[in-house]
Amino acid sequence: MGNTISYQETPIELKLGDRGTIRGLQFDDKSRRFTGVPYALPPTGEYRWRKPRPLPTSYSYTDDNGGAYDATKFKSICPQKAFHVVKPDGGGNTYGEDCLFVNIWTPVPKEGEENKRWPVQLWIHGGWFQMGDPSQEPGMDATELITTGGLNAIVVAIGYRLNVFGFLAGNNLLQESNGEAGGNFGLWDQRVAAEWVRDNIAHFGGDPENVTLAGRSAGAYSAEAQMLYDFRKTGSDSSLYHRIFMDSNAIPAQPKSLADVQGQFDELCDYFKIDAAVSGAEKLSILRGKSVEELLAAIPQLKNHTFRPVTDDVFIHSGMIEYLQGKDFADEFKRRGYKLLIGEVRNEETLYSSYNAPTEPTLEALRLQVSNYYAPDVTNRAIQQYQLPESDKLQDWQTTFGSIVSDGQVRAPSRALAKALVDNGVDIRDVWRYQIAYRLSFIDEKVAPASFGVAHAMDRPIWNVEEMKVLTPEATIEVRPDGRWSELVKLGNIFAGNALRLTDMGSDPIAYFNFNPTPPKGQFTPVMLHSLRWSAWGPEYWALVGGIISFTAMVVLLARFDGKPIFTWNGVTLNAVVSILSVTMKAAVAFVLSECLAQWKWILFTREDRPLMDFDRIDAATRGPLGSLRIIFRTQGAYAVQLGAILTLLAVALDPLAQQVIQVREGVVYTRSTQTDKGPLALNSGTQTYSMGTAQVTESSRQNSTTKEYWVSTDTPLSMQGAILNGLSKSRWEVEQEALIQCPTSNCTWDQFKSLGICHKCNDLTSELTQVGGFGQAIIALANTTLAGYKVPGTAFVLPNGHFIANIDGCPPYNGRYAECENEQPLGVYSDDKYTTTSFGTGIPSKTNSMKDVDTLLWSMSIIHPDMEALNKSSGFTPGKSDRGSTAGLKLWPDIPMQATECALYYCVKRINSAVEGNQIQENVTEALDSRRDPDSWKRSSEYEDGQPENVISKEANGTLEFDKYWSAVYNTDLRLEFSHISNEGYYRISQDSVKSMGAHMQELFRTNLSGTLDQREEIEKILGSDAVGFNGASFGPFEAEKWSMKAVPPALDGLWTWTRLNITSTFYTLATSMTNEMRRNYAPGQSLKSGQDTDRFQDGSLSYYGKVGKSTVLYHIEWPWIALHGVMLISAIAFLFTTLGNSNSRDNVPLWKSSSLAAIRHGRDVGGVLSRTTTMGEMEDTARKVRVNLRGEESEETKSCIDRTTGSIPSEP
């Protein structure tokens, strides 16, 4: 649409104070237009995705030659995809990032009114925040509104950044701007434009104290956001505007957070193939380097293709919806003297159904498009409120989408906003709502299909008077509040995240925006109020209340005793109580059904002529099941009555079904053990301290010396030594069952508790293995020999810390039959044991490969070993089974696939969920990751002044738990673990003796000197450097079909890896579990026992935590499906009552007589003549089948019966 009337255009210049002069156009002598007036500096280059920069005070409106600024032509619109606007002259508007302009339409001051100040409308265009135009939006140009329509006001339209340019958001942007803006750049543009209008509109004749902020669709959303920003801005008392006009949109829910839209930011970066590893600043730099066209082309390719306002806690704050619904918002609204005009058109959903709608008939496609509008939790809540299509017809899913978004964006939030203001004290005269339900005749099929109805934005010509047809009589528009007010206010709360109980509005704060200001007469006549009278239906209401109470009590009672032991109280059983409640509910339902059936006599006979026999049948149905059967099979055209009869029959089944609800089963009942209980109790083991083991310092004076020798000897308890060996030899299940637990029955449970323990972690380091050649001399040195003049080819596999395994090239990594080397030289080194595995163990984190961050490290081991899975898949690996020679089928070094694993044991706090089920221990033990080593624990005392150099701890070992015979002689404080965030949680302590003795024992088990002689270190360091750790454990072994054993140095390594025991991680799990069990069991010398501990069975170890003892007993088991009929009957009775109420209205003059015998007698005189000649029941029934009767009255006459005595045309009924 464009302007439809021609005007004489003349240039007009206007001076803007000391900021220059602009040239616009004057149309006749009625209006002026100034277009493309900058209000901020261009947001281009490095200023893309930054807050707008207001014009500096030095800015002047001039052209390139120093003349007046040309404001006669529209400037570029903000970049947008697939949107083209035709100018009145046939040209097209171009887009560009330099788009922060306002367009201004003003009246022409009349003679003598040059100083008059006109009201100002500040207009924000719509377009889903993705597109739109302040220049020539259809229906927007205000020229005719002023020139022909006679509007004495100024209209200012704002251009603001859209889509990815205006609403890209994320934490990277917030950080870059030092917290000034994480998105919402389009909203910031609007804000700066409003401030420009405040400061400059007086030059155009506008009154800056009389501004209305207005917008349609996304513009209405923006208007509300601007109002909220003003209200919540610290120290703000804005005078930018005092009235708000919101057309077809509002804020329905808290916008997405920066975290919610980070995925959209990342998706955009992925589209441009920006490395995810680069910094946020670098990502933004790359994106700013992309052209406008490249960014526009990216938008439709994104799954998250819609860019919208976000909750950044700068412009839009968290808790916005709660603020909107609260009293503080309403109070601020009143304090500022605001007025609100808000509304919509009748068929908002039709346009939404066709824009960005689902492209597939699936729930996933629907959720994707809804999620472009709302945060994930809001999306889920919204979809759950709607009946989803059961078909695979795409249009049905698009229609559902249109309903969700139109309710969510328009109907629900506008009602919720109006309700919140009025409920919190805003004068209803200051909150105006409207609905436009008229479609102008010129909006024909070429513009929009008739099925669109009055669609979103079809009201633009009405508001802007662009088409002169608006001024014709056809513009008498029916505009009324719709019947979904309460429903949509509730839905608004659902979008907002609340489910509040809504009270009656009293009066709907809706204005009738109509050229005929009076609403249609009688429109709100309450047609059901007559039938809802308490005096008529009070007993039925009370009966339903009693039925609901009985049903609720029955459900609560059953739920309370479901799974509980059988009880009796003074001889009264649960079955008896439930039967009483069921009978009470049945009586209430039966009474309501009976009265409603009776009322249907009067409803049916008031509406139409019916056989008199129907009156008798319905009356019989009110008295029981037999009469109901007659209704079902013999009454025609009375579906509601037949439904009531079916419900009456179903009510008979309530009592027997109630007996089926309560069943019994064998179950376990748990009783909590306490210290005062007698007999064996449920007890579990755990500890907060560990002080087992000793570390004895020995002091010895040196002859003829002033120094002394200090060393420490340790002793680890046999029970802990056994636990470690158990961990090396037993399975996971066996070790888990060894936790010290006392359960006097076969079932016990404990609340979660925490205990000191040993944790483990393992990492696969295979990818870090590197192959290093030229290792022959090092291999000779490792054999503790020298071979002058000989060179042996050797290769090593090396980890980053210098742990390695090396063998002679061409030899298999094992000994025994069929283990000969290729190209073997006559040297003794060829007959030495070949390394199958090597290990390096330490308690110093810095010497490990992947455990450097473990500050409570007890022991870490890296193990390099053959990859048996790869070897077993190799057809050439069959030693011991070859018939083709001693070397056939062998894998030779270094063509052996190798693996590396590093595992660690460390002190930790564990959370334990423990139970005994069927005499089997079931424990879920996890590390308490929120615990940490107390920085003030494990402090080392001063070094001995008269000690030896070896008594001084090395730099790399300082602060670690590594044991050394000499430096560990110095005293350390206890090791403590803590929960720093829990103030009342005590320390978990391991004594220094325990730490030292445990570390010494691990060294004795898993470490020996295999690569530490001077010759060996010299050769190793030549190749791997001085920091290489070498190895301190190794295993050698024949690999033969009949002999799988290994020789390990030290021997305990045989428990970690052999040819048939490959899972190192599992072994460290059993080690940690077994050691934890022992720490829980025996944590201190002379530890006390809990009361109730069975000392005959558990004499070694202490039980610390009481639990619950489970005993088998007979329990109630509630079969809930059997109670379904009770609920269905109650709901059906309520529905049947309200159906009856709805049909017993005063409009049809239906009397509220129900089962009254007096009412039947009252009409007896009217029909008595019909039956006067009958003497038997059969004769009366036969006559009643042939006679049709009604109870319709005429005009204001008293209701009476009218009898059709023409029986010949009525077929005889059975």
Query: Mind telling me the catalytic residues?
Result: 217
Provide φ and ψ at 575, rounded to 5°.
-60, -40
CA–CA gap between residue 857 and residue 846 (Å, rounded): 11
Question: 1124-1143 and 639-651 helices cross at what angle (nearest 10)?
Answer: 150
Distance CA 1015, CA 1008 (A): 17
Please tell me what DSSP assigns to residue 374: S
Residue 652 is given by DSSP the state T
Helix (H) or strand (E) holding 1003, with range, is helix 992-1006
Place of tokens 């003497």: 1175
Beta strands at 689-690 and 988-990: parallel, antiparallel or unpaired: parallel
Question: Taking the CB of residue 199, how many other CB atoms lie within 10 A of it?
Answer: 15
Q: Report residue 1064 as tokens.
A: 């190192």
Residue with structure tokens 């020995």? 698
How far apart CA 101 and CA 99 sit, in angstroms, is 6
Largest Cα–Cα distance of the chain, in whole Å?
A: 149
Pairwise CA distance, residues 1170 & 1187, whole Å: 8
Cis omega (within 30 of 0) for bond into 376: no
Distance CA 773, CA 1023 (A): 9
SS3 state of residue 889: coil
Give the Cα separation of 690 and 1114 in Å (integer). 44
Instruction: Report the run of H or E that residue 954 belongs to, with start and end.
Output: none
Residue 1028: helix, strand or coil by DSSP? Answer: coil
Whether 47 contacts 53, CB under 8 Å: yes
Question: Pairing state of beta strands 753-764 and 1188-1190?
Answer: unpaired
Contact 24, 11 (CB under 8 A): yes
CA-CA-CA-CA dihedral for 90, 96, 101, 105, to nearest 10: 10
- The answer to whether the CB of 491 falls within 8 A of the CB of 407 is yes
HSE, side-chain direction, 13 A CA sphere, residue 16: 23
Q: What is the DSSP letter of 518?
A: S
Residues 804 and 1031: beta-carbon distance below 8 Å: yes
In sequence order, the 6+-apart residues with CB closer than 8 A to the CB of 542 are none
Q: Write down how long the chain is.
A: 1214
The DSSP result for 580-625, as a single string, is HHHHHHHHHHHHHHHHHHHHHHHHHHHHS-EEHHHHHHHHHHTT-H
Q: What is the DSSP string of 350-366?
A: HHHTTSS--SSSSHHHH
Could you give the CA distance from residue 248 to residue 455 in angstroms, rounded to a whole number? 10
Reduced to 3 states (helix: H, G, I; strand: E, B; else coil), residue 1037 is coil
Write the CA distances from 135 to 39, 73, 344, integer angstroms: 15, 9, 23
CB neighbours of 546 closer than 8 A, spacing ≥ 6?
A: 584, 585, 588
Q: Which of 1116, 1041, 1152, 1034 lies closest to 528 in space, CA to CA?
A: 1152
Integer-rounded Cα Rg, in Å, for the chain is 45
